[in-house]
Structure 1
Amino acid sequence: MNAASHTLTPTARAKVGLRVAPGDDAVLARRALARHLRHHTPWGLHVTVTEGESGQPFLVDAQGPAFDAARKAYRQAYDKEVLDIGSGAAIPFVAAFAHAYPDAAILIASAGADGDSRAHSENESLDLADFERACLAETLLLTELRQ
């Protein structure tokens, strides 16, 4: 027997995350989304938008000795050529850190970056062999940077 009620609930809530590309302004994008939601509300409904915190986007310039060392370390650990690919990351402190230390080489690495890891999903996983290679790569990177 189905115990669910066949009535409509008078309210609904949603939490929306917005990722913006480098060059965009996160605060302006958040305001534009809130404005869009308010102006495109179906007749008879009321929308309340509570704007939360935001972090600015950042684009890493992956050139220089630290990145060369990282490529070498990861090539050794995974026994494969390293590919530079664009990837989004919503880590708010990165842009602030880059602004405070403009000459710093910012390398964001991840164990479990393979497609099967389903990063940040409800069924996220980490292949232990991949984790072992990532740990080896980080060790090799520290060794490269020490020289």
Structure 2
Amino acid sequence: MAIAREVASVTKLGVEVAIVVGGGNIFRGASWAGCSGLDRSSADYIGMLATAMNAIFLQATMESIGIPTRVQTAFRMSEVAEPYIRRRAVTHLEKGRVVIFAAGIGNPFFTTDTAAALRCAEINAEVVLKATNVDGVYDADLRHNPNARLLETEVS
């Protein structure tokens, strides 16, 4: 609900908002690869499904406070979300709807950070905000590599 309220306050200013959700709170594919015979691709697909669960939950929360929202997924889940179609996403944004992107880019071995950068470029977003448990983008996972370096170069 806190996230929904924060997004609502921004949309009320007339800002178009698109969100890429992760699923690490439910399942983190890279962490499970190799466990019990689970290959990396399968683990990543399960992680993508976790992002869809979070997207549907966020959508329900946002709509409960009156914020029109659409979920678009990188692979088909037509009973619960729209497929990702760039032009449709842009139209939703122009109509004042929040668009929540789920299932990453639909391919294993790519993080939701990759999805965020890609969707940002595709919809011509002006700003990307990263709301995670770390303070930026690193060259390695901070939980596994204490020597990970913060990437300070702006990408344009």
**Fold shared, TM-score > 0.5 on shorter chain:** no
**How does the TM-score come out when normalised to structure 1?**
0.31
**How does the TM-score come out when normalised to structure 2?**
0.30
Structure showing the higher strand proportion among its residues: 2
Higher Rg: 1
